[in-house]
A and B are shown apart, each in its own frame.
Chain A
Amino acid sequence: MLTLTRKIGESVCIGDDIRVVVKEVKGKQVRLGIVAPRDIYVCREELYRKIHQANIGATSTDVNILDSISNLFGDKKRAKGGNSNES
């Protein structure tokens, strides 16, 4: 891992498009400002890992499973009037 020392207000550039600024240091906490292109996800690592894992876990599904889960919901759907909205 590359380790750099920066002062408050100083930045690190990652490639041409990403800049990380040290905004504030308070005890053991550091506030960072991030400038990145809009098509890149920027979020806390815990959150990123959680969602990443959920997405990967959601892909292993066979085609028949949808019949079984749709049936589980049959009654509820009718109770709500059975209208299906787009997406």
Chain B
Amino acid sequence: MRVETVRFGTLEVADDQIFTFPMGLLGFANHKEFLIVDHTHESPFKWMQSCEDPELAFILTDPLFFRADYHIAARKGELQIIDPSNELDLVVSVIMTVPDDPKDMSANLLAPLVFNMANRRGMQYVLTNNRYPVKYYVMREKDPSVVDPTNSVEPRSISLR
């Protein structure tokens, strides 16, 4: 599949590199297909590029990168559109907003993206418990929890209930 982008030119990508968002994103209901592009190998950030609009791209990152305690407990039914049969297939990313001064960048912890890596479907999951802000200023907040490097259990940012 050929994806036109203003940032990276024309990309030739395999169909299995595409993620389908059956609901789109809030405000972008008509954008159903996105490509996820690593920024660099070392960078914790990724681009999520619309396959339908060359100009539309979001910056994503793993919320655990700056909030090691970030966790959402979703009901299976709420994620039905991405068919979450196995919790371990689910991966959570958050959308970054980067203003002119990058130090003011924020992460949307209120409405994370949930991906099912098994079927490459994604959705924006809206948290209703108000536990996390829509703008989490990652450079200003102190990470409330410290990641223990000796902890062999990979922290999971999502569980099904």
Task: Please indicate the chain A residues that have their CB under 8 angstroms from the CB of B139 in the complex.
Answer: 72
Contact of B44 among A47, A58, A68, A70 (CB under 8 A): A70
A11 to B60, CA, bound (A): 40
Interface string of A38-65 (1 = CB under 8 A from B): 1111010001101111111111011101
Task: Please indicate the chain B residues that have their CB under 8 angstroms from the CB of A5 in the complex.
Answer: none
**8 A Cβ contacts from B89-133 to A:** 91-93, 95-98, 102-103, 105, 108, 110-111, 115, 117, 124, 126, 128
Residue B141 interfacial (CB < 8 Å): no
**Contact of A86 with B45 at beta-carbon distance under 8 Å, contacts A58-B96, A68-B102 already known:** no
Task: Please indicate the chain B residues that have their CB under 8 angstroms from the CB of A52 in the complex.
Answer: 26-27
**Contact of A69 with B102 at beta-carbon distance under 8 Å, contacts A40-B23, A58-B59, A77-B42 already known:** yes
A53 to B111, CA, bound (A): 12
A50–B110 touching, CB < 8 Å? yes
Residue B147 interfacial (CB < 8 Å): yes
B26–A41 touching, CB < 8 Å? yes
Task: Please indicate the chain A residues that have their CB under 8 angstroms from the CB of B28 in the complex.
Answer: 55
B124–A72 touching, CB < 8 Å? no
Contact of A69 among B92, B96, B108 (CB under 8 A): B96
Q: Shortest Cβ distance from A51 into chain B, in angstroms?
A: 4
Contact of B102 among A48, A59, A72 (CB under 8 A): A72
**Contact of A77 with B103 at beta-carbon distance under 8 Å, contacts A47-B126, A55-B27 already known:** no
A72 nearest CB neighbor, chain B only:
B102
Contact of A54 among B57, B115, B128, B134 (CB under 8 A): B134
Contact of B95 among A39, A47, A55 (CB under 8 A): A55
Give me the 7 closest cross-chain CB pairs, A-B, nearest first. Answer: A70-B43, A52-B27, A63-B7, A58-B97, A51-B111, A87-B91, A66-B39
